[in-house]
Chains A and B, each alone.
Chain A
Amino acid sequence: MLDLLTLFEWVVSISCVLIASLIAIDKLVIDGKRDLHPIALSQQSNVAGVRRKNETAVYRNFTVPPGFPLTTGLALSLGYRIRNGNFGDIWEGIMSKSVGRGIEIENTSVSLSRINGLAKCVSGRLLKYMPNDGRVGIAVPLWTLPGLSVSLAALMSSLEGVVPCFLPAVPRTNLKLNVLVIDSWDTLMMMRDSHEWYQWIIVCDEKHRPPNFSIENVVMWSALTSDAVDDDHFSYAPPSDNSDDTKVLAMVTSPWNHTNSFTQGALVSSVAAYVKSFPLGQELTEEDHLALAFDRDTEKSYYFQSWTKLLSVLLYGGSVSLFGPDQEFFNPKITLLQLDAQNPGLEALLQKPLSVLQKLKLSWASTLFSNGIFTKISKFDSKVRKLRCVYIANHARSLQYVDELSEQIPCLRKRSENRLSSSQQNLLRGLLGSRLIPELYSPYLVMGPVASANFYDYRVFPEATDIKFAFYGPITTSIEAKLVETKENPDLSVESRQGMLCIRGFTIGKPVENDRLEKAAKIVQRFDGGGGWMPLLGEFCLWGSDGCLYEYK
């Protein structure tokens, strides 16, 4: 009897110790291991205390309090003045530490001095033979050496008045371009008589050149760059009136044949906002290696968008790899990866068969991530051993409405394309052993993302929320945003923080065509009398109580 009592006391004591240990682990250890406290995750925006009748309050990123300026540029000094900077400042900074660094293009490393030499050579030709405000149409993929070099050459020339135009395809109408850069002879053959629209056509690939073919205004890439030499120097001195900072950086044409222009300010704002998005202790360093993975369906919309991250990483001494469609982008060197949400590689990764042990590790990793704890225990391959952050780019819905600036506002309907749910995002975090940041882009209207999740936000939302909404985190620091009521969607109420997204900031483009400019003025007037708000037509969202943007799926 005595033994039984002792045994009972032992069992009770051990149970008490066990329960106390579990509670201590749950409350103390887990709390101490979290990357970000739940309170910080629940307050990711600064919300204005006032709103207009048919609008929500204005939301800003938590790091930009009301009354403080949005991120406008690089904050460089010009004497005693502060200036925002431009492409010249960034490229000068990059080339100042270019020795021994390069960009991997199609799995071949090309030194920065080679790329700079090619770009300077092409830029020299453009400036010599083109009018001061000439336009260069670029219809070659950015992930090829000619595509990258000619784009850089055009961006360098933008400081002298030349306007680079990023095109989704070879134009079928006369866009009044002076120079057109195309990928191959096959493309040239398909252009028929439209080659007469251009002063020059630069053909990048010499394969399939027909014998005895001669058009006067066609120049081969190899001939154009025959005297290019490696050059690790680029110098830029801003004029005393700082006029370069307001020049046009580039124009971007959408697949619906509408063009928006972006100033140098858009580039430096988006670069500065990206650099500032890294938390303390996780900043960009020269150890970083960015991989930009383009896929067949969406690559063209990201030729222009890619510059933000590409230049930022190079500016901090890092290196970059460019991968075209169907190229394997997981690589032991990469630390940062940018890809589209529709990239087939993501779906393949989620469907990847795993061993029992891997499944168990992934389950643990998911549990840890959902509790706010970062872990690398379930990395699927050593190829991603250095990977520290993956950016998943998502297009805004109804891009065509946004682009056309139509007065007809669409009704909210369920979209056809899939968005990754928060639980799928956590599985990817586990498999890649890295942070994962979903981003929202309006690729032809805004340079850089509109909204981007916090580096440390690994929350898993209830299934009902995931079914209805896509999560994008707070608005980026170069933009402020609000949601507005539309009569076409009476079910969305601004009192409940629902409505159509309107943005204001320094990374937004301006329509080039006069009719679209008039339409833009009208539509801007409709949503705010002269406040400079640009509506993203058809982009219906909700502000969460955490200050984050949730898009209706």
Chain B
Amino acid sequence: MSFIRNLLFGGVKTSEDPTGVVQGSSTPTINEASQPIIEGKFYPRTIYKFNGHDDEKIFIAVKGKVFDCTQGRQFYGPSGPYSNFAGHDASRGLATNSFELDTLRHWDQPIDDLKDLTTQDLQALDGWLEHFEKKYPCVGSLEAEPGVNI
């Protein structure tokens, strides 16, 4: 009806304010759910909850970098073929091409230093890292938590 009114009496349709700045306020309104994650430090304990089940987001650590793999939910999400990796450091599993649980460390164990991996395994891991860097946003780094992993 507003269209007809504007057409007859003059006037324009004003769109919603995309800046969120309303009269008298300089702070835009923010939808918390759509806020990007702040890149930061993760510990095995804090990354664990991002397994697609306890939290909707899926984070996977590869060679000390944490990637947001939520877009690859069909692979890494619950009942996906690589769901074991979600919320974990997946470096050893990717390097050895194994999806078994024994390639993963629990959150209260020391971070895997990967020292026993062969050159071939490490090359494979570098390839995976490159793949993750291209495909998924890096959201931070995985570090050992003092008193828990060290």
Contact = CB atoms under 8 A, between A and B. Distances in A.
B39 to A, nearest CB: 5
B38 A52 contact: yes
Contact of B12 (A38, A42, A53, A460): A460
B30 A23 contact: no
A314 B19 CA distance: 38
Given A367-B7, A367-B13, A22 B1 contact: yes
Nearest to B134: A67
A544 B6 CA distance: 26
A370 B139 CA distance: 40
A261 interface: no
Residue from the set A52, A367, A461, A468 with the largest chain B CB neighbour count within 10 Å: A367
A370 B18 contact: no
B110 to A, nearest CB: 27
A426 interface: yes
A49 B19 contact: no
Interface of chain A: mostly helix, strand, loop or mixed: mixed
Contacts of A542: 19, 21, 28
A459 B15 contact: yes
A166 interface: no
A51 interface: yes
Contacts of A459: 15
A16 B99 CA distance: 66
Nearest to B27: A496
Nearest to B11: A367
Contact of A49 (B3, B14, B37): B37
B17 A50 contact: no
Interface string A397-432: 000000000000000000000000001001000000
Contact of B23 (A50, A464, A498): A464
Nearest to B9: A363
B150 interface: no
Residue from the set B10, B11, B36 with the largest chain A CB neighbour count within 10 Å: B36
Contact of B137 (A49, A369, A493, A495): A49
B68 interface: yes
A51 B15 CA distance: 28
A67 B135 contact: yes
Interface in B132-148: 134-135, 137-139
Contacts of B138: 50
Residue from the set B15, B36, B135 with the largest chain A CB neighbour count within 10 Å: B15
Contacts of B40: 53
Contact of B13 (A41, A56, A460, A550): A460
Interface residues of B, number: 37
Interface in B100-150: 134-135, 137-139
B19 A371 contact: no
Contact of A22 (B4, B6, B23, B36): B4
B19 A53 contact: no
B79 interface: no
B80 interface: no
Contacts of B30: 495-497
Interface in B1-58: 1-4, 6-7, 10-15, 17-23, 26-28, 30-31, 35-40
B70 interface: yes
A548 B36 CA distance: 16
Interface residues of A, number: 49
Nearest to B3: A26
Contacts of A545: 18-20, 31
Contacts of A349: none
B139 A464 contact: no
A25 B18 contact: no
Contact of B36 (A48, A468, A498): A48
A255 interface: no
Nearest to A497: B28
Contact of B28 (A38, A47, A50, A498): A498
Contacts of A469: 19, 21
B68 A49 contact: yes
Contacts of A426: 12
A7 interface: no
B17 A461 contact: yes
A364 B17 CA distance: 23
A25 B15 contact: no
Contacts of A550: 18-19
Contacts of A495: 30, 35
A260 interface: no
A48 B35 CA distance: 10
A370 B70 CA distance: 38
Contacts of B11: 367
Contacts of B36: 47-51, 56-57
A460 B15 contact: yes
Interface in A101-135: none
Given A51-B36, A493-B27, A30 B3 contact: yes
Contacts of B22: 464
B13 A42 contact: no
Contacts of B6: 367, 370
A462 B20 CA distance: 11
A370 B39 contact: no
Nearest to A423: B12
Nearest to B137: A50
Given A41-B15, A469-B19, 8 more contacts: A22-B4, A50-B38, A52-B38, A367-B11, A461-B18, A496-B28, A545-B19, A546-B18
28 contacts: A22-B1, A23-B1, A25-B4, A26-B4, A41-B15, A49-B37, A49-B137, A50-B68, A51-B37, A53-B39, A56-B36, A363-B10, A369-B12, A370-B15, A460-B12, A461-B18, A464-B17, A464-B23, A465-B21, A468-B19, A491-B26, A493-B27, A496-B20, A496-B28, A497-B28, A542-B19, A548-B18, A550-B18
Interface of A: 22-23, 25-26, 30, 38, 41-42, 47-53, 56-57, 66-67, 363-364, 366-371, 423, 426, 459-462, 464-465, 468-469, 491, 493, 495-498, 542, 544-546, 548, 550
